[in-house]
Amino acid sequence: MAKLKVGILISGRGSNMAALIKAAQAADYPAEIACIVSNKADAAGLEIAADAGIPTATVSHRSYPDRESFDRDVSAALGKHGVELVVMAGFMRIFSPWFPQHWAGRLINIHPSLLPSFRGVHVQQQALDAGVRISGCTVHFVIPDLDAGPIIAQAAVPVLAGDTADTLTARILRQEHRLYPQVVRWIGEGRVGASGNGGKVAVEGVPPGATLLFSDEP
């Protein structure tokens, strides 16, 4: 069976991108990284991708008069490599409605909170300010509404006494690196689809509880 062609969007260091590249190196992984696209030419992740022999492209948002024209060129860069699934990995741009509508059901993101709680930015500080005892990350399909698409899977971590936004961020990031490759594997295996229950997502052959990973840290 042909492997799913994945395009990854980054803006910075690309740590989740690196985790996906590593996962895709396994012979039994059902997806391959077809290209990396960044909106910043100096994104550190581009060098990591190039070192791995993966095609890269830069589409600078500063060169466009509006979001949709930028989005269309990002889409064209992905299309050149036959991308079937777009994976956002620290891509710090808000799309026009056109992009998630064009890639509907083929565009995913990882967000560093347990959605629907703490959308937007500075989410670890939001969690600390709210006094929650558990935080984590969420992989979801992207829709025009920010951080609001159907949830595919989540990973949970404890919020510890004395945590700062930086320490909580680091604990969540370690779980992101576990969760994202797992979700892309499920999609590559054709196991992710709508459950028929209010737009919720089902993963074939995976009990609902198994789509929630818990940190093995204390």
DSSP 112-165: SS-TTSS-SS-HHHHHHHHT-SEEEEEEEE--SSTT-SPEEEEEEEEPPTT--H
Q: Is the pLDDT of residue 152 over 60?
A: yes
Q: Examine residue 181 and say whether the peptide bond preceding it is cis (omega within 30 degrees of 0).
A: no
Q: Is the pLDDT of residue 56 over 60?
A: yes
pLDDT of residue 207: 78
Q: Collapse the DSSP code of 206 into the 3-class scheme (helix H, G, I; strand E, B; otherwise coil) and give the result.
A: coil
pLDDT of residue 199: 75
Q: Which of 119, 117, 67 is nearest to 93 (CA)?
A: 67
Average pLDDT over residues 193-202: 75
Q: Is the pLDDT of residue 174 over 60?
A: yes
Q: Which of 81, 111, 140, 177 is catalytic?
A: 111
Domains along the sequence of the chain with CATH: 1-103 (3.40.50.170), 109-218 (3.40.50.170)
Band the pLDDT of 214: cuts 50, 70, 90: confident
Concerning whether 122 is annotated as a catalytic residue, the answer is no
pLDDT of residue 211: 80
Pairing of strands 134-141, 151-158: antiparallel
Band the pLDDT of 163: cuts 50, 70, 90: very high
Band the pLDDT of 217: cuts 50, 70, 90: low
Q: Is the pLDDT of residue 203 over 70?
A: yes
pLDDT of residue 208: 72
Q: Which of 201, 93, 112 is nearest to 157 (CA)?
A: 112
Band the pLDDT of 195: cuts 50, 70, 90: low
What percent of the chain is modeled with pLDDT above 70?
Answer: 96
Radius of gyration of the chain (CA): 17
